[in-house]
A and B are shown apart, each in its own frame.
Chain A
Amino acid sequence: MTPAAIVGVGESRVGRLRGMSALRLTLEAARTAIQDAGIVASAIDGVLTRNLDMDVTYMHSQLVAQHLGLKPRFTTDINLGGATAIAMLEQAALLITTGVCQLVLCAYGENRRTSWAVPRHGRIKMGNEDFEECYGLTWGMGPHALAAQHHMHVFGTTSRQLGMIAVAQRRYASQNPNADLRTPLSLEDYERSPLLIAPLRKYDLAYLFDGGAAVVVAGLPWARDHTAYPVSILGLGQAHSGDHLTYCAPMVTTTTTPARQSGDEAFRTAGMGPQDIDIALLYDDTTYGVLVQLEDYGFCPKGEGGAFVEAGHLGPVGALPVNPHGGNLSQAHLDGMSHIVAAVRQLRGVAGRCQVPGASVALVSGFGGVFAASATAILGTIDL
């Protein structure tokens, strides 16, 4: 049990927001989260941000603090790619449980959708420039296609099963007013869509989005006294495969990811197991990412992710509703921050038409650098 809780969440608009800087999106989300927490901004004494890919900025966390009028006790940038959001949550919980901070703001914003190809302030070195990009392998999705092919070869997983993940998430997104892709998607649409990076189709891949999201974390006693709907951080885990985005070859030729270790740690610290999870918000660069995590978190045995999906478990009435906000695939690709925001709304019971009835424990995950970094949080409203 981790005595820290999420007391505020916020999201900016998402989608294609030309002219909106990453900083502006970060601040918009941060302001909403601070208002949601019902606190004055000056009470925040910890600020965690993610350094930017595009508008590469010196001491970005301090810049965000400055714009919010804060003089924090502790501030830093954290970047673990898609594992960033949960890593920020873990850092915030550590700062609070060790007494360093009282209220920590985790704020994120990116405008990769509209600024990726604009060489304005330079672009971060990803690491894969020398040994992967020269073969036209795009980071993120290309390695996922290689890993999916390997999984299909070993376990007989099918494209149609991956498609069911895309369809389930789109169904949720169509109910989410702040989702970018809300047009209904059928399995037939999926199967007719182009194989962009075979074996992955258009709808297997998460788009680039502009957007921001933020959360405020506090100690649980403070949260109980000051907020109506605190969501406790019950368990946390983080694991690294020992690889880097520089070279994906080792990561895409195995069917297991560090989500297994990171999940074990989160379940252990929460004193729970997969059977205790009501909803899962699984980081989804691609549909394959969701499938492999279903196995690695133990929601089904290794190799049976395809059958689990095919049984309809991911939908609203299934055994494990997954990404009820639409996920990276259909809502917005914000390095996992929107997964935390969505989990908190579900657990508070205020997710509107996306609400999964009775959801009280959520597993939220992040994957960074293809499958190099996995971070897991278990959140809940159960009385501790």
Chain B
Amino acid sequence: MRERIHVEMWKCHTIGQQLPIPDEESQIFWEGCRRQRLLIQQCDHCQTFRFPPSPLCRVCLGSLATWHEEPGQGQVLTFCVYHSEIAGPAWRVQLPYTVVVVQLWYSGVKVLSHLVCDDPQLVRIGLPVRVGFEAVHAGLTLPKFFPLHGAEGVS
């Protein structure tokens, strides 16, 4: 209970687990996740990949884009580990959880997600990872990342 007394002193404390609400920009992305495919927008004009989904290319301001399937392999650029339910009580059951920023090798985009890994010693910057998909409910699946090779990073 001691933990709960002080977590309410921070911002961003929400009651439930916030889930994405697909909108006109993102619904193709979330539909892709539901079918276990990581879809990334590529500008038709200058070929720049972009993420999260957006109406315009920030490099050339072009509005036409094509969705490409990203193989979903990359490496960890940075990470942090939540040991407290500072994000709200809904997160208590998932503690500790690891938030990562992954740079994908194919498209080069940086993706924020969870690293799902049983061995905390394995988690490090530079760790090669691959995407996987976790269904939250029938209509929504979240992309998450897993170590690319089971033994990678153990020295």
Verify that A and B bind, or say they do not: yes
Judging by beta carbons under 8 Å apart, are A116 and B11 in contact? yes
B-contact 0/1 string along A125-163, CB 8 Å cutoff: 000011111111111111001111110010000000000
Question: Is B9 within 8 A of A130, CB to CB?
Answer: no
Count of chain A residues near B, Cβ 8 A: 44
Which chain B residues numbered 28 to 61 have a C-beta less than 8 Å away from chain A?
52, 58
CB pair B81 A195 closer than 8 Å? yes
Interface contact B87-A138, CB-CB below 8 Å: yes
**Which of chain B's residues have a CB closer than 8 A to the CB of A52?**
none
B78 vs chain A, min Cβ distance (A): 4
Q: A146-B79, A199-B80 known; A249 and B111 CB under 8 Å?
A: yes
The reply to whether B80 and A200 form a contact with Cβ atoms under 8 Å apart is yes
Q: Contact between A117 and B13 (Cβ–Cβ < 8 Å)?
A: yes
Quote the shortest CB–CB distance from B15 to chain A (angstroms): 7
Q: What is the interface residue range for chain B against chain A?
A: 35 or more
B residues near A205, Cβ cutoff 8 Å: 10
The CA of A134 and the CA of B18, in the complex, are separated in Å by: 5
Given A140-B11, A141-B86, A197-B84, also A135-B113 (CB < 8 A) = yes
Question: How far, in angstroms, from A137 to B8 measured CA to CA in the complex?
Answer: 15
Pairwise interchain contact B18-A253, C-beta atoms closer than 8 A = no
Considering only residues 89-106 of chain B, those with a C-beta below 8 Å from chain A are 91, 94, 97, 99, 101, 103
Known: A129-B18, A130-B20, A134-B142. A194 touches B83 (CB 8 A): yes
Using CB atoms, name the residue of chain B closest to A249: B110
The A166-224 residues at the B interface (CB cut-off 8 A) are 194-200, 202, 205, 207-208
- Greatest chain A CB density within 10 A among B9, B19, B94, B111 is at B9
Q: Contact: B125 with A150, CB < 8 Å?
A: yes
Interface string of A111-129 (1 = CB under 8 A from B): 0110011000000000001
Q: Beyond A149-B79, A196-B86, A205-B10, is A131–B110 a contact (Cβ under 8 Å)?
A: no
Tell me if B154 counts as interface (CB < 8 A to partner A).
no
Which of A112, A116, A131, A134 has a CB less than 8 Å from the CB of B17? A134
Indicate with 1 or 0, residue by residue over B1-31, a CB within 8 angstroms of chain A CB atoms.
0010011111111110111110100100000
With known contacts A130-B52, A136-B91, A249-B112, A197–B11 Cβ distance under 8 A: no
B26 near A197 with CB under 8 A, answer no
| A252 touching B9 in the complex, CB below 8 Å, given contacts A130-B26, A246-B52 | no
Inter-chain contacts of A138 with B (CB < 8 A): 10-12, 86-87
A246 to B112, CA, bound (A): 11
A194 vs B79: C-alpha distance in the bound complex, in angstroms?
A: 18
Judge if A247 is at the interface, Cβ distance under 8 Å: yes
Chain B residue at minimum C-beta to C-beta distance from A253:
B77
Which residues of A sit under 8 angstroms from B12, Cβ to Cβ? 116, 133, 138-141
Does residue A357 face the partner (Cβ distance < 8 Å to B)? no
B101's partner among A133, A197, A200, A249 (CB-CB below 8 A) is: A249
Known: A138-B12, A140-B11, A149-B125. A195 touches B52 (CB 8 A): no
In the complex, A165 has a CB within 8 A of chain B: no
A246: chain B residues at CB < 8 Å are 52
Q: Is A318 an interface residue (CB 8 A)?
A: no
A271 within 8 A of B: no
Q: List 26 A-B contacts (CB under 8 A).
A: A116-B13, A129-B20, A130-B20, A130-B21, A131-B52, A135-B113, A136-B87, A139-B12, A141-B86, A146-B80, A146-B99, A146-B101, A147-B78, A148-B80, A149-B79, A194-B83, A196-B86, A197-B83, A197-B86, A198-B80, A198-B83, A202-B6, A207-B10, A247-B112, A249-B110, A249-B112
Query: A residues touching B (Cβ–Cβ < 8 Å)?
Result: 112-113, 116-117, 129-142, 145-150, 153, 194-200, 202, 205, 207-208, 242, 246-250, 252-253
- 5 A-B pairs closest in CB distance: A145-B80, A133-B18, A249-B110, A138-B12, A198-B81
What 16 new A-B contacts, CB under 8 Å, besides A130-B21, A146-B78, A252-B101?
A: A113-B9, A117-B15, A130-B23, A135-B112, A136-B99, A136-B114, A137-B87, A139-B12, A141-B10, A141-B12, A194-B84, A197-B80, A197-B83, A205-B10, A250-B110, A253-B101
Residues of chain B whose beta carbon lies under 8 Å from any beta carbon of chain A = 3, 6-15, 17-21, 23, 26, 52, 58, 77-84, 86-87, 91, 94, 97, 99, 101, 103, 110-114, 125, 136, 142
